[in-house]
């Protein structure tokens, strides 16, 4: 049984109901050291505050059917914001991560921090107006951003490859709180995407979950027993510096020679295809200036089964699988979720990466990780950032009744 102090028991029970989806009093009694009358008072109290609600009756082998409880998804609402190098996404959710509204905009040369905050504020006000909600109903805004970050201070430190100026040392949480008048919380995008995907996988026994995102760069995050694994510093993109081949290239003159992202990233793929076109390799892209070729052009060529582009995607996917195998051999997740523009570009990428990883991991009799594509796709970062607020609120801020347990 789980023993907790009176001041935290309500929060723990709420969190458990949230995790289980629907649950009876008897099921909660098996996990918490409370008397039957105390548990009844607690559930009645949370129901009266509309924090949880009765969701129906369970099955019974005899006697009265048990009442089932679930958390109330409309007790409050959440904003989730993704800040990436290519685009940003703002979305409105209820507390079960049901998507109510979303919008996306390009991170072009004019999208400075000040302009982004103003855009997010204006879009949030539009969301509230469309759903006839007051700002008081918002629990806050969660932000998933490229790093490096100072999560505790809510600051984006020195991110690379932003088109607009001014993105060094940005107190993004302070700016958003001043504009929106609600709490703001920050984490790196791979961690928030992992939170979102973990929610999507609830009920599927994902105890040790690895999330890998392949896009402009490579990002990864790991969760064990429901907890994010964090290091001494926010180094979200550092996984891309894992050395795959000691005699490999040093991409764009940066980082390690033979680093993972030198083989597996949108920028690396664009670079390799452009070089192949410059030496005269035939392709449906022939005739265009190589330096004008973008990732969108590559995905179209791949759909057209262009031999050159297919070759390059297959090579990138194989190297993706090698890096995955390295991570899996160290971390031993039971579930591996893959997302990001490169992985989502074509089934070839996912299938090749998984097949390569499976060939190179140390699998015992009882260990074989389950691979899956990210379910939330382009919304994973924003959804997980929003859910971060629910987790924090459930642990810290759940209202307590004056009645004693």
The predicted structure's pLDDT at residue 3: 41
Specify the higher pLDDT residue, 227 or 79. Answer: 79
> 43-52, 209-218, 228-237: which range is least confident on average?
228-237
| pLDDT tens, residue by residue, 280-289 | 999 999 999 9
Q: How far is it, in rounded angstroms, from Cα 21 to Cα 117?
A: 34
Q: Is 25 contained in some domain?
A: yes
The predicted structure's pLDDT at residue 249: 86
Residues 281 and 142 placed together within one structural domain of the fold? no
Q: Is 405 contained in some domain?
A: no
Residues 170 and 276 placed together within one structural domain of the fold? no
Q: How confident is the model at residue 395 (pLDDT cuts 50, 70, 90)?
A: low
Residues 233 and 136 placed together within one structural domain of the fold? no
Q: Is 402 contained in some domain?
A: no
The predicted structure's pLDDT at residue 243: 94
Q: For residue 389, is pLDDT > 60?
A: yes
The predicted structure's pLDDT at residue 9: 82
Q: Is 340 contained in some domain?
A: yes
Q: For residue 87, is pLDDT > 70?
A: yes
**Most confidently predicted of 148-157, 167-176, 229-238:** 167-176
Residues 223 and 361 placed together within one structural domain of the fold? yes
Q: Is 37 contained in some domain?
A: yes
Instruction: Tell which residue, 194, 189, 193, has the closest CA to residue 172.
Output: 189
Which of the listed residues 15, 45, 72 is the one where a domain comes to its end?
Answer: 72
Q: Is 178 contained in some domain?
A: yes
Q: Is 403 contained in some domain?
A: no
> 56-65, 152-161, 217-226, 235-244: which range is least confident on average?
56-65
Q: For residue 386, is pLDDT > 90?
A: yes
Q: Is 366 contained in some domain?
A: yes
**Most confidently predicted of 11-15, 163-167, 401-405:** 163-167
229 CB-near residues (< 8 Å, 6+ apart): 221, 222, 223
**Secondary structure of the chain in HEC code, one letter for each residue:** CECCCHHHHHHHHHHHHHHHCCEEHHHHHCCECCCHHHHHHHHHHHHHCCCEEEEEECCCCCCCCCEEEEECCCCCEEEEEEECCCEEEEEEEECCCCEEEEEEEECCCCCCHHHHHHHHHHHHHHHHHHCCCCHHHEEEEEEEECCCEECCCCEECCCCCCCCCCCCCECHHHHHHHHHCCCEEEEEHHHHHHHHHHHHCCCCCCCEEEEEEECCCEEEEEEECCEECCCCCCCHHHHHHCECCCCCCCHHHCCCCCEHHHHCCHHHHHHHHHHHHHCCCCCCCCCCCHHHCCHHHHHHHHHCCCHHHHHHHHHHHHHHHHHHHHHHHHHCCCEEEEECHHHHCCHHHHHHHHHHHHHHCCCCCCCCCEEEECCCHHHHHHHHHHHHHHHHHHHHCCCCCCCCC
Residues 143 and 210 placed together within one structural domain of the fold? no
The mean pLDDT of the chain is: 90
The predicted structure's pLDDT at residue 2: 43
First to last CA, the chain: 17
**Most confidently predicted of 40-44, 126-130, 220-224:** 126-130
Residues 232 and 153 placed together within one structural domain of the fold? no
Q: Provide the residue range defining the domain that includes 259.
A: 206-374
Residues 238 and 336 placed together within one structural domain of the fold? yes
The predicted structure's pLDDT at residue 367: 80
Residues 359 and 211 placed together within one structural domain of the fold? yes
Residues 233 and 258 placed together within one structural domain of the fold? yes
Share of the chain above pLDDT 90, in %: 67
Q: How confident is the model at residue 404 (pLDDT cuts 50, 70, 90)?
A: very low
User: What CATH number should be reported for the domain holding residue 146?
Assistant: 3.30.420.40
Residues 233 and 343 placed together within one structural domain of the fold? yes
The predicted structure's pLDDT at residue 201: 82
Residues 309 and 253 placed together within one structural domain of the fold? yes
| pLDDT tens, residue by residue, 307-336 | 999 999 999 999 999 999 999 999 999 999
Q: How far is it, in rounded angstroms, from Cα 351 to Cα 314?
A: 10
Q: How confident is the model at residue 136 (pLDDT cuts 50, 70, 90)?
A: very high
| pLDDT tens, residue by residue, 22-31 | 999 999 999 8
Specify the higher pLDDT residue, 55 or 226. Answer: 55
What letters, b where the CB count within 10 A reaches 16 and e where it falls short, cover 288-312?
A: eebeebebebbbebbeeebebbeeb
User: What CATH number should be reported for the domain holding residue 23?
Assistant: 1.10.10.10
The predicted structure's pLDDT at residue 68: 93
The number of distinct structural domains making up the chain is 3
Specify the higher pLDDT residue, 20 or 183. Answer: 183
Residues 177 and 266 placed together within one structural domain of the fold? no
Which of the listed residues 72, 98, 125 is the one where a domain comes to its end?
Answer: 72
């Amino acid at each position: 049984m789980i023993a907790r102090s009176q001041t935290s028991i309500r929060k723990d029970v709420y969190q458990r109901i949230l995790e289980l989806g629907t649950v009876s009093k008897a099921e909660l009694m098996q996990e918490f050291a409370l008397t039957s009358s105390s548990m009844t008072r607690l559930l009645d109290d949370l129901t009266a505050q509309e924090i949880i609600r009765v969701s129906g009756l369970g099955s019974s082998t005899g006697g009265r059917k048990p009442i089932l409880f679930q958390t109330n998804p409309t007790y409050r609402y959440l904003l989730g914001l993704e800040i990436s190098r290519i685009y940003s996404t703002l979305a409105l959710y209820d507390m079960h991560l049901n998507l109510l509204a979303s919008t996306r905009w390009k991170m072009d040369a004019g999208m400075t921090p000040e302009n982004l905050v103003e855009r997010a504020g204006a879009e949030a006000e539009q969301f509230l107006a469309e759903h006839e909600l007051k700002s008081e109903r918002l629990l806050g805004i969660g932000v998933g951003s490229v790093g490096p970050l100072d999560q505790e201070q809510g600051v984006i430190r020195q991110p690379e490859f932003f088109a607009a100026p001014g993105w060094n040392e940005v107190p993004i949480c302070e700016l958003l709180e001043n504009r929106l008048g609600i709490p703001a919380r920050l984490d790196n995008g791979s961690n928030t995407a992992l939170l979102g995907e973990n929610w999507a996988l609830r009920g599927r026994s994902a105890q040790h979950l690895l999330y890998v995102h392949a896009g402009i760069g490579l990002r990864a995050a790991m969760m064990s027993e429901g907890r994010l694994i964090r290091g001494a510093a926010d180094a979200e993109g550092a996984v891309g510096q894992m050395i795959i081949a000691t005699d490999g290239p040093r991409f764009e003159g940066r980082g390690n020679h033979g680093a993972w992202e030198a083989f597996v990233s949108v920028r690396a793929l664009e670079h390799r295809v452009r070089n192949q076109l410059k030496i005269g390799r035939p392709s449906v892209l022939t005739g265009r200036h190589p330096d004008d070729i973008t990732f969108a052009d590559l995905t179209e060529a791949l759909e057209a089964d262009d031999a050159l582009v297919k070759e390059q995607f297959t090579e990138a996917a194989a190297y993706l699988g090698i890096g995955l195998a390295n991570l899996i051999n160290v971390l031993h997740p039971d579930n591996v979720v893959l997302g990001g523009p490169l992985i989502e570009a074509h089934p070839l990428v996912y299938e090749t990466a998984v097949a390569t990883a499976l060939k190179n991991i140390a699998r015992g009799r009882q260990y074989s990780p389950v691979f899956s594509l990210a379910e939330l796709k382009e919304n994973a970062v924003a959804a997980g950032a929003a859910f971060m607020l629910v987790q924090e609120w459930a642990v810290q801020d759940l209202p307590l009744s004056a009645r004693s347990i």
